[in-house]
Chain A
């Protein structure tokens, strides 16, 4: 075996593989062919709940590997079968980490409690990116203003995963744009709140199995206690000069590792397709093809080690800013390369559009964009390596 996995983790990988082969890949292909995410009432989600996988995820016992290393290994396996379906998986998902880390006891109970023992599919959503902001997360324009009754949010967000079907969204907004990052906080917006409007599910090139949503917040009123961590934290943060931005970026360092793991899965799937075709057609005997496959395999292995290393550092409670950005760069690039090479090897049959490799080729591109583009990752690394000014 390529990696030495503990029996516990190995069992989880094999279970994910079985589920992936039987359920996730067909569901992902169905969504891709329909060019739309599976509707929330789709039987796939019912089967997911019934399978107990949601509970298994939540209760996964600690093995010898740390939490992030396990997340990397399982993330790669999940994305191998369909990265889009992974994002569409019911659960508290992306915002759960921030709520667990920074939420008040009441917030954790109210917003995460309903996800504890899922009986029906539910989603939550994390709303960061803005139409004019892109990767510049410090430049949000969505405003939050305190009123007698609570908070009023105004602004717009885009490319937000699962936002249409989510029970609630954790929306990043600024209290005072003049304070830059120090003025930013996160707010809970529940489904159906008046002023949460203009909801549009984007049509995408790939990763079609989950909703990427644009929406506006127009005088969207939410209760006073819907600010993550409560209002007292705000005063403390402002007083000490600390900010929610730091917490957000801390979460993103881990999120980058997760996205890198997803890219590894897509890369491996694309390579498997490329290799299968090269074997069947005999092209693998051609040294030029063989060497190209070898190179991508090598780059995949290096990217996997880089990603595991970045995750391992999290588990060791050590800094990983450079390593997580590097893992994200390498994994996303090898996914793209594997998709491109696969298209070439499969040839005109890939051009016909019905082969899996064609979907993987489209899916892979997104991984070099989401969670900070490859260029943003280089900026982050350059700040650390050569003190590139902000």
Chain B
């Protein structure tokens, strides 16, 4: 039993609140007004990316020794949520290391981050790609590897990091990013990634791989939450302003209840994601909790995404409004981090741990 217990606490620390506030301001001024412009350009404007980097947000989770802020998973979750409420595609584009950082951190440690991640941040526009490998390769440095990722929300693959069930690897050279049309998240780019060549470094370790995947899942899930919060709030506001049959459509009970259920669906995902992030930050095993949180967010997205459009009716289907983009973005985000089926397998693979609510020590 540990000596000290973190009390049940749903509060947001002052540090995190400060980050949320400055990211909210940045997102409202720089991202949201350019939602469709960045989508069309398939990129975030360079000056916006430069501002983001200058504010230090590219290095939120890097250790302080490596010039980062050394902040934890809850901070990342809140930051992703805040950015994705404005534009999840831009959030992906701006965070150039993305979840590849977790594989480096958890498997290769600070040395791997220093060797592979830091040089990337010094190269303008360079991007890292995390390849979720379902096979357990037991790869070694010097081995050859080849593969294709049908879609990744990026326009470049300067660094390719693989994460399998038993470990991870880093490709020696860059991957080849060939533009594809893409279903969503266009501000981040959309490419088919072909990678091949020698493995520069490889690490074994199921526990580290599980921790990295848990973080990658929360990374994707928190972006989904931001999109869903925006879609739910936007459609809710619309429903209060749009009048039909003599009253705001939100006051017809069929829609009022739908709006409540959408709110609850997002809230459940958020509670589970934040809880899993808190577990990670206090050093607890969060493999199952993060997998379940990801599954919950994907399930919520199937409900919230289409219904955000539904509430706006025909208008929702038009690109004049952001809800159609939210529906596509949130669906696409749910395909990342290994997808829902593997997450569900892992969420369901610890049935005893699941139910031991207050049991054990």
Contacts and interface: CB of A to CB of B under 8 A. Distances in A.
Interface in A341-390: 375, 378-379, 381-382, 385-389
Nearest to A279: B351
B8 A4 contact: yes
Contacts of B260: 378, 381-382, 385
A262 to B, nearest CB: 14
B259 interface: yes
B251 interface: yes
B271 A297 contact: no
Contacts of B245: none
A260 interface: no
B122 interface: no
A330 B358 CA distance: 20
Contact of B292 (A69, A73, A294, A329): A294
A6 B7 contact: yes
Interface stretch (B169-177, B193-201, B261-269): B261-269
A307 to B, nearest CB: 10
B155 to A, nearest CB: 35
A291 B5 contact: no
B355 A385 contact: no
Given A5-B358, A73-B358, A312-B8, A326 B256 contact: no
Interface string B332-361: 000000000000100110010011111111
B6 A330 contact: no
Contacts, number: 136
A68 B240 CA distance: 34
A213 interface: no
Could you tell me the dominant secondary structure of chain A's interface residues? Answer: helix
Contacts of B360: 1
Given A291-B348, A382-B257, A69 B267 contact: no
Contact of B259 (A69, A73, A386): A386
Contacts of B91: none
A313 B240 CA distance: 27
B217 interface: no
Contacts of B295: 294, 298
Contacts of A251: none
A13 interface: yes
B5 A7 contact: yes
Nearest to B250: A386
A99 interface: no
A165 interface: no
B240 A6 contact: no
A306 B5 contact: no
A123 to B, nearest CB: 28
Interface string A262-298: 0000001001100100010000100000110110011
A2 B358 contact: yes
Contacts of B282: 4
A326 B267 contact: yes
Contacts of A309: 10, 271
B296 interface: yes
A388 to B, nearest CB: 5
B227 to A, nearest CB: 19
A290 B351 contact: yes
A291 B264 CA distance: 22
A276 B22 CA distance: 50
Contacts of A56: none
A329 B261 CA distance: 10
Nearest to A6: B5
A9 to B, nearest CB: 9
A294 B348 contact: yes
B347 A268 contact: no
Contacts of B269: 302
A268 B355 CA distance: 7
B356 A302 contact: no
A83 interface: no
A290 B5 contact: no
B348 A388 contact: no
A386 B240 contact: yes
B272 A302 contact: yes
A77 B358 contact: yes
Contacts of B268: 299, 302-303, 306, 330
Contact of A312 (B10, B251, B292): B10
Contacts of B5: 4-7, 64
A65 B358 contact: no
Contacts of A316: 11
Contact of A305 (B271, B348, B354, B358): B271
B264 A330 contact: yes
A157 interface: no
A284 B351 contact: yes
27 contacts: A5-B5, A7-B5, A77-B358, A275-B351, A275-B355, A293-B348, A294-B295, A294-B348, A294-B351, A302-B272, A305-B275, A306-B267, A306-B268, A309-B271, A312-B9, A316-B11, A326-B264, A330-B264, A330-B268, A382-B253, A382-B259, A382-B260, A385-B260, A386-B239, A386-B250, A386-B256, A387-B248
Given A301-B354, A385-B263, A387-B248, 9 more contacts: A268-B355, A290-B351, A298-B272, A305-B271, A308-B8, A378-B256, A382-B253, A386-B248, A387-B251
